[in-house]
Chains A and B, each alone.
Chain A
């Protein structure tokens, strides 16, 4: 990746960052540039694309709500899970290879068996795709790695 492309992606990320902070009130935001930012045990290779890690004000949709048992015992809401955000510009064209490499650099979420890709019940990786358009509108989509049942069905 050339430096020009990298700086484009970093600018893109700053747009998404301010949108998340000031329009959607995300907290605990951390910028991710290399693999070390995600997992200290790995090498210092750059991520395929710069990302954001943060906590939404409310829990985003979760296919297997882990808090269902907690809700009964405590009236306090548990803090929402942190999410990985991938900024993308609307005019970009990505391939399956790119998406796969983004997911492959993410850690397996807690609760999933090690290397349990074959296990259907293993918690699947997911990211929030932030699509930025030319007028700085940002729309957010949840993308799962693997087959995950839609929420309302």
Chain B
């Protein structure tokens, strides 16, 4: 998919969320996490809702997840998104409860719980979207635990 000129593009400089997009521009998936108690702060925000610390930072996350839901959009609502297309809701394996959205062209075969892997789609200079592609089978190789910082 190439970025449509009318497609909405994310603000990348917001003080709460900008780090996510700055990491994405380097083809990395990062979530905000509290530096005091380790709670993942997603959707990203400076203040920790668990310990109320304002010390938070960005942790790189293994870019794999599982499909939590999807919908095939059949009605045209926006010129940048001609139907059919598919919206996926992906739960991150390394940060249970944290979810991200992805866009897929057309109406691919999907199944609940399917493994998904992040891809990085540059849509503008310095603006990259984290997208998600279905994987055919459970990933082999190192377990996510061995690759991801402990976020407790």
Instruction: Judge: A and B partners, yes or no.
Output: no
